[in-house]
Chains A and B, each alone.
Chain A
Protein backbone atom coordinates (compact mmCIF):
# COMPACT_ATOMS: atom_id res chain seq x y z
CA UNK A 1 0.00 0.00 0.00
CA UNK A 2 1.42 3.40 -0.92
CA UNK A 3 2.44 5.66 1.90
CA UNK A 4 0.67 8.98 2.41
CA UNK A 5 2.46 12.23 1.70
CA UNK A 6 1.89 13.34 5.29
CA UNK A 7 3.44 10.17 6.73
CA UNK A 8 6.46 10.41 4.45
CA UNK A 9 6.98 14.10 5.22
CA UNK A 10 6.82 13.44 8.94
CA UNK A 11 9.19 10.44 8.70
CA UNK A 12 11.61 12.35 6.50
CA UNK A 13 11.58 15.33 8.88
CA UNK A 14 12.57 12.99 11.70
CA UNK A 15 15.46 11.59 9.65
CA UNK A 16 16.66 15.09 8.70
CA UNK A 17 16.49 16.16 12.32
CA UNK A 18 18.53 13.16 13.47
CA UNK A 19 21.19 13.69 10.84
CA UNK A 20 21.50 17.47 10.91
CA UNK A 21 19.80 18.81 14.04
CA UNK A 22 17.42 20.89 11.89
CA UNK A 23 14.01 21.18 13.62
CA UNK A 24 11.50 18.75 12.11
CA UNK A 25 9.02 21.62 11.79
CA UNK A 26 11.42 23.37 9.37
CA UNK A 27 11.36 20.43 6.99
CA UNK A 28 8.54 21.49 4.72
CA UNK A 29 7.66 20.46 1.17
CA UNK A 30 8.77 23.67 -0.55
CA UNK A 31 12.13 23.83 1.21
CA UNK A 32 15.27 23.34 -0.94
CA UNK A 33 17.68 20.92 0.75
CA UNK A 34 20.78 22.95 -0.12
CA UNK A 35 19.61 26.54 -0.46
CA UNK A 36 17.10 26.63 2.39
CA UNK A 37 18.15 23.88 4.77
CA UNK A 38 21.92 24.07 4.07
CA UNK A 39 22.22 20.28 3.90
CA UNK A 40 25.40 19.19 2.14
CA UNK A 41 25.65 16.33 -0.33
CA UNK A 42 27.18 13.94 2.21
CA UNK A 43 24.43 14.50 4.78
CA UNK A 44 21.93 14.20 1.92
CA UNK A 45 23.24 10.72 1.15
CA UNK A 46 22.91 9.65 4.79
CA UNK A 47 19.33 10.96 4.78
CA UNK A 48 18.64 9.02 1.57
CA UNK A 49 19.97 5.74 2.98
CA UNK A 50 18.01 6.17 6.19
CA UNK A 51 14.88 6.98 4.17
CA UNK A 52 15.35 3.80 2.13
CA UNK A 53 15.44 1.81 5.40
CA UNK A 54 12.51 3.62 6.96
CA UNK A 55 10.16 3.54 3.97
CA UNK A 56 11.30 0.30 2.33
CA UNK A 57 12.10 1.93 -1.02
CA UNK A 58 15.17 2.16 -3.22
CA UNK A 59 16.54 5.57 -4.13
CA UNK A 60 19.30 5.04 -6.73
CA UNK A 61 22.39 7.28 -6.69
CA UNK A 62 21.49 8.83 -10.05
CA UNK A 63 18.08 9.86 -8.67
CA UNK A 64 19.48 11.69 -5.65
CA UNK A 65 20.58 14.76 -7.61
CA UNK A 66 16.97 15.22 -8.81
CA UNK A 67 15.72 15.47 -5.23
CA UNK A 68 16.31 19.20 -4.84
CA UNK A 69 13.41 20.00 -2.51
CA UNK A 70 11.78 18.16 0.38
CA UNK A 71 8.71 17.83 -1.85
CA UNK A 72 10.78 16.13 -4.58
CA UNK A 73 11.98 13.57 -2.04
CA UNK A 74 8.53 13.00 -0.54
CA UNK A 75 6.92 12.56 -3.96
CA UNK A 76 9.63 10.13 -5.06
CA UNK A 77 9.23 8.03 -1.93
CA UNK A 78 5.43 8.00 -2.18
CA UNK A 79 5.55 6.89 -5.81
CA UNK A 80 8.19 4.25 -5.07
CA UNK A 81 6.31 2.79 -2.10
Chain B
Protein backbone atom coordinates (compact mmCIF):
# COMPACT_ATOMS: atom_id res chain seq x y z
CA UNK B 1 0.00 0.00 0.00
CA UNK B 2 1.59 3.32 -1.00
CA UNK B 3 2.09 6.18 1.46
CA UNK B 4 0.09 9.30 0.54
CA UNK B 5 2.07 12.47 -0.12
CA UNK B 6 1.57 15.48 2.09
CA UNK B 7 -0.90 18.03 0.80
CA UNK B 8 0.11 21.67 0.55
CA UNK B 9 -1.94 24.82 0.52
CA UNK B 10 -2.40 26.56 -2.79
CA UNK B 11 0.27 29.21 -3.09
CA UNK B 12 -0.47 32.88 -3.62
CA UNK B 13 2.03 34.20 -6.11
CA UNK B 14 2.32 37.64 -4.56
CA UNK B 15 1.41 39.65 -1.48
CA UNK B 16 1.01 43.34 -0.76
CA UNK B 17 0.32 45.78 2.05
CA UNK B 18 -3.38 46.67 1.86
CA UNK B 19 -3.42 49.43 4.45
CA UNK B 20 -1.68 51.05 7.40
CA UNK B 21 -2.86 52.25 10.79
CA UNK B 22 -1.16 54.60 13.26
CA UNK B 23 -1.45 55.76 16.85
CA UNK B 24 1.01 58.03 18.65
CA UNK B 25 1.21 58.69 22.38
CA UNK B 26 -1.13 61.56 23.25
CA UNK B 27 1.50 63.72 25.00
CA UNK B 28 3.63 66.06 22.90
CA UNK B 29 6.91 66.29 24.84
CA UNK B 30 9.30 69.11 23.95
CA UNK B 31 13.07 69.04 24.15
CA UNK B 32 12.94 71.52 27.03
CA UNK B 33 10.97 68.99 29.06
CA UNK B 34 13.61 66.25 28.67
CA UNK B 35 16.76 68.38 28.54
CA UNK B 36 17.09 69.09 32.28
CA UNK B 37 17.95 65.61 33.58
CA UNK B 38 20.55 65.12 30.82
CA UNK B 39 22.08 68.56 31.32
CA UNK B 40 21.31 69.52 27.75
CA UNK B 41 19.24 71.97 25.74
CA UNK B 42 16.63 72.20 23.00
CA UNK B 43 19.30 73.44 20.60
CA UNK B 44 21.69 70.55 21.38
CA UNK B 45 18.96 67.93 20.94
CA UNK B 46 17.76 69.43 17.63
CA UNK B 47 21.29 69.66 16.26
CA UNK B 48 22.33 66.17 17.38
CA UNK B 49 19.13 64.31 16.50
CA UNK B 50 16.71 66.50 14.54
CA UNK B 51 14.01 66.02 17.17
CA UNK B 52 11.75 68.94 18.03
CA UNK B 53 9.12 66.92 19.93
CA UNK B 54 8.58 63.31 20.79
CA UNK B 55 5.20 61.68 21.47
CA UNK B 56 4.75 59.85 24.76
CA UNK B 57 1.81 57.93 26.16
CA UNK B 58 0.38 59.09 29.46
CA UNK B 59 0.12 56.89 32.53
CA UNK B 60 -3.37 55.74 31.53
CA UNK B 61 -2.44 54.78 27.98
CA UNK B 62 -0.86 51.37 27.54
CA UNK B 63 1.08 49.90 24.66
CA UNK B 64 -1.91 47.68 23.96
CA UNK B 65 -4.28 50.69 23.83
CA UNK B 66 -2.16 52.22 21.08
CA UNK B 67 -1.82 48.89 19.27
CA UNK B 68 -5.59 48.42 19.18
CA UNK B 69 -6.18 51.88 17.68
CA UNK B 70 -3.57 51.34 14.97
CA UNK B 71 -4.78 47.82 14.21
CA UNK B 72 -8.43 48.85 13.91
CA UNK B 73 -7.52 51.63 11.47
CA UNK B 74 -5.55 49.21 9.28
CA UNK B 75 -8.37 46.64 9.33
CA UNK B 76 -11.00 49.23 8.44
CA UNK B 77 -8.94 50.76 5.64
CA UNK B 78 -8.21 47.30 4.21
CA UNK B 79 -11.95 46.74 3.93
CA UNK B 80 -11.77 43.25 5.43
CA UNK B 81 -13.66 41.48 8.16
CA UNK B 82 -11.23 40.91 11.07
CA UNK B 83 -12.33 37.24 11.04
CA UNK B 84 -10.48 36.94 7.70
CA UNK B 85 -7.18 37.58 9.48
CA UNK B 86 -5.29 34.29 9.64
CA UNK B 87 -2.34 35.48 11.69
CA UNK B 88 -1.43 38.36 13.99
CA UNK B 89 2.26 39.24 14.32
CA UNK B 90 3.04 41.72 17.10
CA UNK B 91 6.47 43.33 17.14
CA UNK B 92 7.46 44.90 20.44
CA UNK B 93 10.14 45.19 23.12
CA UNK B 94 7.84 46.76 25.68
CA UNK B 95 5.20 44.10 26.35
CA UNK B 96 5.32 43.98 30.15
CA UNK B 97 4.60 40.24 30.47
CA UNK B 98 6.96 37.36 29.78
CA UNK B 99 3.84 35.47 28.76
CA UNK B 100 1.15 35.36 27.41
CA UNK B 101 1.96 37.22 24.19
CA UNK B 102 0.67 40.65 23.27
CA UNK B 103 -0.49 39.23 19.94
CA UNK B 104 -3.10 36.84 21.33
CA UNK B 105 -4.71 39.60 23.39
CA UNK B 106 -4.64 42.02 20.46
CA UNK B 107 -6.21 39.41 18.17
CA UNK B 108 -9.08 39.03 20.64
CA UNK B 109 -9.52 42.78 21.08
CA UNK B 110 -9.79 43.52 17.35
CA UNK B 111 -12.11 40.63 16.46
CA UNK B 112 -9.45 38.40 14.89
CA UNK B 113 -9.72 35.58 17.48
CA UNK B 114 -8.95 32.61 16.72
CA UNK B 115 -6.16 33.71 14.34
CA UNK B 116 -2.65 32.40 14.97
CA UNK B 117 -0.90 35.03 17.03
CA UNK B 118 2.68 35.56 18.20
CA UNK B 119 5.11 38.26 19.21
CA UNK B 120 8.33 39.18 17.47
CA UNK B 121 11.21 40.63 19.46
CA UNK B 122 13.53 42.25 16.93
CA UNK B 123 13.58 45.78 18.33
CA UNK B 124 13.83 48.48 15.67
CA UNK B 125 13.94 45.87 12.89
CA UNK B 126 10.76 44.29 14.24
CA UNK B 127 8.22 45.74 11.80
CA UNK B 128 10.30 44.85 8.74
CA UNK B 129 10.92 41.37 10.20
CA UNK B 130 7.15 40.99 10.68
CA UNK B 131 6.41 42.19 7.14
CA UNK B 132 8.86 39.58 5.84
CA UNK B 133 7.00 36.91 7.79
CA UNK B 134 3.56 38.19 6.74
CA UNK B 135 4.66 38.11 3.09
CA UNK B 136 5.80 34.50 3.47
CA UNK B 137 2.66 33.40 5.34
CA UNK B 138 0.35 34.91 2.74
CA UNK B 139 2.27 33.54 -0.23
CA UNK B 140 2.47 30.07 1.28
CA UNK B 141 -1.29 30.08 1.74
CA UNK B 142 -1.10 29.59 5.52
CA UNK B 143 -2.93 32.86 6.17
CA UNK B 144 -5.13 34.83 3.82
CA UNK B 145 -4.60 38.13 5.64
CA UNK B 146 -1.96 38.93 8.24
CA UNK B 147 -2.25 41.75 10.74
CA UNK B 148 1.19 43.16 11.52
CA UNK B 149 1.43 45.48 14.51
CA UNK B 150 4.50 47.23 15.87
CA UNK B 151 3.81 48.93 19.18
CA UNK B 152 6.04 50.40 21.86
CA UNK B 153 5.69 52.25 25.13
CA UNK B 154 9.43 53.00 25.40
CA UNK B 155 8.78 55.53 28.17
CA UNK B 156 8.34 52.47 30.42
CA UNK B 157 12.03 51.56 29.95
CA UNK B 158 13.67 54.98 29.96
CA UNK B 159 16.10 56.47 32.46
CA UNK B 160 15.56 60.21 32.00
CA UNK B 161 19.19 60.88 33.06
CA UNK B 162 20.63 58.63 30.34
CA UNK B 163 22.38 60.72 27.70
CA UNK B 164 22.81 57.88 25.21
CA UNK B 165 19.24 57.31 24.06
CA UNK B 166 16.45 58.25 26.50
CA UNK B 167 15.68 61.68 25.09
CA UNK B 168 15.24 60.25 21.57
CA UNK B 169 12.54 57.79 22.49
CA UNK B 170 8.79 58.01 21.99
CA UNK B 171 5.65 55.87 22.28
CA UNK B 172 3.41 54.73 19.45
CA UNK B 173 1.99 51.95 17.33
CA UNK B 174 1.86 51.22 13.62
CA UNK B 175 -0.09 48.47 11.90
CA UNK B 176 -0.43 46.93 8.47
CA UNK B 177 -2.72 44.42 6.79
CA UNK B 178 -0.85 42.14 4.39
CA UNK B 179 -2.80 40.01 1.96
CA UNK B 180 -2.77 38.35 -1.47
CA UNK B 181 -2.06 40.35 -4.59
CA UNK B 182 -2.19 39.93 -8.37
CA UNK B 183 1.14 41.67 -8.79
CA UNK B 184 4.30 41.87 -6.62
CA UNK B 185 3.65 44.17 -3.67
CA UNK B 186 6.51 43.16 -1.37
CA UNK B 187 10.02 42.37 -2.58
CA UNK B 188 12.18 39.61 -1.03
CA UNK B 189 13.44 40.76 2.35
CA UNK B 190 17.14 41.29 2.96
CA UNK B 191 17.64 40.65 6.65
CA UNK B 192 20.02 39.41 9.28
CA UNK B 193 21.67 40.00 12.61
CA UNK B 194 25.00 40.48 14.34
CA UNK B 195 24.88 39.00 17.81
CA UNK B 196 28.57 39.72 18.34
CA UNK B 197 27.34 43.27 19.01
CA UNK B 198 24.63 42.24 21.43
CA UNK B 199 25.77 44.91 23.88
CA UNK B 200 25.63 47.86 21.47
CA UNK B 201 21.97 48.63 22.28
CA UNK B 202 20.90 46.93 25.45
CA UNK B 203 19.21 47.06 28.83
CA UNK B 204 21.05 48.14 31.99
CA UNK B 205 20.25 44.79 33.59
CA UNK B 206 18.21 41.62 33.28
CA UNK B 207 14.85 40.94 34.93
CA UNK B 208 16.57 38.33 37.11
CA UNK B 209 19.10 40.90 38.34
CA UNK B 210 16.19 43.26 39.04
CA UNK B 211 14.35 40.50 40.90
CA UNK B 212 17.44 39.82 43.02
CA UNK B 213 17.93 43.52 43.76
CA UNK B 214 21.35 43.78 42.13
CA UNK B 215 20.17 46.38 39.58
CA UNK B 216 17.42 49.00 39.48
CA UNK B 217 14.55 48.86 36.98
CA UNK B 218 16.23 47.92 33.69
CA UNK B 219 16.32 50.75 31.13
CA UNK B 220 17.55 51.10 27.57
CA UNK B 221 20.99 52.49 26.65
CA UNK B 222 23.27 52.38 23.65
CA UNK B 223 26.84 52.93 22.49
CA UNK B 224 25.80 55.82 20.29
CA UNK B 225 28.87 56.37 18.15
CA UNK B 226 29.33 52.71 17.35
CA UNK B 227 25.64 52.27 16.54
CA UNK B 228 25.75 55.38 14.32
CA UNK B 229 28.59 53.94 12.26
CA UNK B 230 26.83 50.59 11.84
CA UNK B 231 23.47 52.18 11.12
CA UNK B 232 24.79 54.42 8.36
CA UNK B 233 27.47 52.50 6.55
CA UNK B 234 26.45 48.90 7.11
CA UNK B 235 22.75 49.59 6.66
CA UNK B 236 23.37 51.58 3.48
CA UNK B 237 24.83 48.34 2.08
CA UNK B 238 21.71 46.44 3.18
CA UNK B 239 19.49 49.09 1.58
CA UNK B 240 21.41 48.81 -1.70
CA UNK B 241 21.13 45.03 -1.58
CA UNK B 242 17.37 45.30 -1.02
CA UNK B 243 17.09 47.48 -4.14
CA UNK B 244 19.17 44.99 -6.16
CA UNK B 245 17.14 42.03 -4.96
CA UNK B 246 13.95 43.92 -5.84
CA UNK B 247 15.35 44.60 -9.30
CA UNK B 248 14.96 48.37 -9.05
CA UNK B 249 17.18 51.41 -8.63
CA UNK B 250 17.04 54.29 -6.16
CA UNK B 251 15.54 56.53 -8.85
CA UNK B 252 12.55 54.17 -9.12
CA UNK B 253 11.56 54.83 -5.52
CA UNK B 254 8.80 57.17 -4.39
CA UNK B 255 10.01 57.03 -0.80
CA UNK B 256 12.77 55.96 1.57
CA UNK B 257 11.38 55.00 4.97
CA UNK B 258 14.15 54.15 7.40
CA UNK B 259 13.86 53.39 11.08
CA UNK B 260 13.58 56.82 12.67
CA UNK B 261 16.60 56.53 14.94
CA UNK B 262 18.25 59.92 14.43
CA UNK B 263 18.01 62.48 11.64
CA UNK B 264 21.79 62.39 11.22
CA UNK B 265 21.58 58.68 10.37
CA UNK B 266 18.79 59.33 7.88
CA UNK B 267 20.62 62.23 6.21
CA UNK B 268 23.91 60.33 5.96
CA UNK B 269 22.14 57.26 4.58
CA UNK B 270 20.46 59.41 1.91
CA UNK B 271 23.97 60.57 0.89
CA UNK B 272 25.33 57.02 0.85
CA UNK B 273 22.43 55.86 -1.34
CA UNK B 274 22.84 58.87 -3.64
CA UNK B 275 19.08 59.31 -3.59
CA UNK B 276 17.65 61.64 -6.24
CA UNK B 277 15.66 64.60 -4.93
CA UNK B 278 12.50 63.10 -6.38
CA UNK B 279 12.49 60.45 -3.62
CA UNK B 280 10.61 61.50 -0.48
CA UNK B 281 12.51 60.75 2.71
CA UNK B 282 10.58 59.98 5.87
CA UNK B 283 11.68 62.26 8.73
CA UNK B 284 8.85 61.60 11.17
CA UNK B 285 11.43 61.50 13.99
CA UNK B 286 11.32 65.30 14.02
CA UNK B 287 7.87 65.32 15.61
CA UNK B 288 7.42 61.77 16.89
CA UNK B 289 10.85 60.73 18.18
CA UNK B 290 12.30 57.24 17.90
CA UNK B 291 9.55 54.67 18.53
CA UNK B 292 11.65 51.56 17.83
CA UNK B 293 9.61 48.98 15.85
CA UNK B 294 6.71 51.38 15.39
CA UNK B 295 8.82 54.02 13.67
CA UNK B 296 8.73 52.60 10.12
CA UNK B 297 4.94 52.14 9.84
CA UNK B 298 4.30 55.45 11.63
CA UNK B 299 6.65 57.27 9.24
CA UNK B 300 5.14 55.64 6.14
CA UNK B 301 1.61 56.35 7.37
CA UNK B 302 2.57 60.01 7.83
CA UNK B 303 4.05 60.34 4.33
CA UNK B 304 0.77 59.06 2.90
CA UNK B 305 -1.45 61.07 5.25
CA UNK B 306 0.22 64.36 4.33
CA UNK B 307 0.16 63.54 0.62
CA UNK B 308 3.94 63.72 0.40
CA UNK B 309 3.77 60.36 -1.38
CA UNK B 310 0.96 58.65 -3.23
CA UNK B 311 -0.32 55.09 -3.14
CA UNK B 312 1.11 52.76 -5.72
CA UNK B 313 4.71 53.99 -5.73
CA UNK B 314 7.65 51.99 -4.36
CA UNK B 315 9.01 52.56 -0.88
CA UNK B 316 12.24 51.11 0.47
CA UNK B 317 11.66 50.40 4.15
CA UNK B 318 14.53 49.43 6.43
CA UNK B 319 14.58 48.74 10.16
CA UNK B 320 17.76 48.28 12.21
CA UNK B 321 18.75 48.33 15.85
CA UNK B 322 19.18 46.32 19.01
CA UNK B 323 20.37 42.78 18.46
CA UNK B 324 21.92 43.99 16.36
CA UNK B 325 19.21 43.11 13.87
CA UNK B 326 18.15 44.52 10.52
CA UNK B 327 15.65 43.96 7.71
CA UNK B 328 14.79 45.77 4.49
CA UNK B 329 12.29 45.30 1.71
CA UNK B 330 10.76 47.32 -1.09
CA UNK B 331 6.97 47.59 -0.87
CA UNK B 332 4.24 49.11 -2.97
CA UNK B 333 2.77 51.99 -0.97
CA UNK B 334 -0.75 51.09 0.11
**Interface residues, chain A, CB within 8 Å of chain B?**
40-42, 44-46, 48-49, 61, 64-65
| A41 B233 Cβ-Cβ under 8 A | no
| A64 B268 Cβ-Cβ under 8 A | no
With most chain B CB atoms within 10 A of its CB, the pick from A41, A45, A48 is A45
Q: A46-B268, A65-B225 are in contact. List 11 more A-B contacts (CB 8 A).
A: A40-B48, A41-B228, A42-B48, A42-B225, A44-B225, A45-B228, A45-B229, A49-B229, A61-B225, A61-B229, A64-B225
Please report the C-alpha to C-alpha distance between residue A44 and residue B225 in the assembled complex, in whole angstroms: 9
The 9 A-B residue pairs with the shortest CB-CB distance in the complex, in nearest-first order: A61-B226, A42-B264, A41-B225, A45-B225, A45-B229, A45-B228, A42-B228, A49-B233, A64-B225
With most chain B CB atoms within 10 A of its CB, the pick from A44, A49, A61, A64 is A61
Asked if B184 lies at the interface with its beta carbon under 8 angstroms from chain A, I say: no
User: Contacts of B48 on A, CB cut-off 8 Å?
Assistant: 40, 42
**Interface residues, chain B, CB within 8 Å of chain A?**
47-48, 223-226, 228-229, 232-233, 262, 264, 268
CB distance from B198 to the nearest CB of A (A): 15
User: Contacts of B229 on A, CB cut-off 8 Å?
Assistant: 45, 48-49, 61
25 cross-chain CB contacts under 8 A:
A40-B47, A40-B48, A41-B224, A41-B225, A41-B228, A42-B48, A42-B224, A42-B225, A42-B228, A42-B262, A42-B264, A44-B225, A45-B225, A45-B228, A46-B232, A46-B268, A48-B229, A49-B229, A49-B232, A49-B233, A61-B223, A61-B225, A61-B226, A61-B229, A64-B225
User: Contacts of B232 on A, CB cut-off 8 Å?
Assistant: 46, 49
> Which B residue's beta carbon lies closest to that of A19?
B268
